[in-house]
Amino acid sequence: MSRSAGSAAQTHIPHLPLHRTDLNSRIDSCRFHTRACDASPPKQTIISLKPKRVIIHSNLENNTLKDVPSFALVQKANEALLGLDAKVDGELVAIRGASKLPSGDVTFYTKDRSHQKWLMANKHVWSKAVHPALEATPSTYSVMAHGIPKSFDIGNPANLARLASENSFQATDLARVRWMGSNEPLAKKAGSIVLSFTDKDLASHIEKSGIFLNYDFHRTDRFKPCPPQCFKCLKMGHFGKWCRESAKCAKCSGKHSTNKCPEGLGGVSTCVLCKDCLKNKVDGISAVDHTPFSMACPYKKAWFDKKRPPSQ
């Protein structure tokens, strides 16, 4: 081997050292890519990707719905929507799936919130075409009018027609009218009535403008309904019309609704729900000196606090 070849073989070519700033930038780059791979999508994104639900109640006395498969309900629903030319921003509203709840009600699944809103607003139109056992009433928007004379008979169609005429809407725009608190005439000369409209924009207009009745002006407010509490089983979260539980009287604890109590109405001073649980030594129940309708009731309070109620 020649001298020149030997010296070339022994020649060491040193690696250039990395500058500290270059090293740090490479480390930061690796960390960034690791975080990007491991990061989960935001909760809001996950929620937006989930299908939206519309629950339609079923008739308690009609049991034929339980034998209908989900695909048949979806097919019928989409046929009904197609016949109605149901669209949101030019896109056809469609049902993607359906499932039956243990209560007998049906959950329909749709694409997004805009389709869900259309289905909810028109549930009384399309649901009946799906199956006769499905029941849905139109969505209503309620306004409270104050200082209405108790002599105004809300059960008289002519009176409602005059009220509508004086305020530039149709009597058919009213889904229902009731006295605040009770439909029975009281000793007071005036009270508040709740006007439930089927048109949201009309309700908003009446809320802001007030109403005229027999040429007298009456102030109006948006009506804030009470949270749903069943008059049949006394539990929170649903109304008596859709209740599938056994009836329970708030007065005598009998197996009938409170308004049918043989002992008469009024005089409810204790909680029959808590009384049963106290007898069974249920945790969280220590007193019964309140009514089932009071915020002192652990069951009602748990519903408002969005917590699990005591086990009955």
What fold does the segment set 50-135 form as a domain?
Alpha-Beta Plaits (3.30.70)
> Token digits for 104?
């007998």
In sequence order, what E strands does the chain have? 52-58, 87-88, 91-92, 95-100, 106-110, 134-135, 141-149, 174-179, 190-197, 211-213, 216-218, 220-222
End-to-end CA distance of the chain: 98
Own/partner pairs, 198-202, CB within 8 angstroms, 24+ separation: 198/138, 198/139, 198/140, 198/141, 198/173, 198/174, 199/141, 199/173, 200/141, 202/141, 202/169, 202/173
Burial of 250 (0-12, 13-18, 19+ CB in 10 A): buried
Q: What percent of the chain has pLDDT over 90?
A: 38
Q: Identify whether the C-beta of residue 172 lies closer than 8 Å to the C-beta of residue 118.
A: no
* Interatomic CA distance for residues 59 and 42, integer angstroms: 40
- How many residues comprise the chain? 312
pLDDT digits (tens, 9 = 90+) for 80-111: 999 999 999 999 999 999 999 887 889 999 98
Exposure of 205 by Cβ count < 10 A (0-12 exposed, 13-18 middle, 19+ buried)? middle
What is the chain's alpha carbon radius of gyration, rounded to the nearest angstrom? 32
Highest-confidence range of 20-29, 107-116, 303-312, by mean pLDDT? Answer: 107-116
Structure tokens at 46: 């996950």
Q: Tens digits of per-residue pLDDT, 250-278?
A: 888 889 888 888 887 777 888 888 888 88
Instruction: State the burial class of residue 258 (Cβ atoms within 10 Å of its Cβ: 0-12, 13-18, 19+).
Output: buried
Domain 141-222 has CATH 2.40.30.130: no
Q: Which amino acid is at 42?
A: P
Q: pTM here?
A: 0.56
pLDDT, average across residues 48-69: 83
Helices (H), 167-248: 200-209
Instruction: Give the Cα separation of 309 and 285 in Å (integer).
Output: 10
Q: How confident is the model at residue 1 (pLDDT cuts 50, 70, 90)?
A: very low
Res 34: pLDDT: 54
Place of tokens 């700033």: 21
Q: Quick check: do 50-135 and 141-222 share a fold?
A: yes
**SS3 of 55, please?**
strand
pLDDT confidence band for 2 (50 / 70 / 90): very low
So what's the pLDDT on residue 240?
Answer: 74
User: What gap in Å lies between CA 179 and CA 191, rounded to an integer?
Assistant: 7
Q: Where are the domains of the chain?
A: 50-135, 141-222, 228-311
Name the amino acid, one letter, at 277: C
Residue 146 · residue 221 · CB < 8 Å: yes
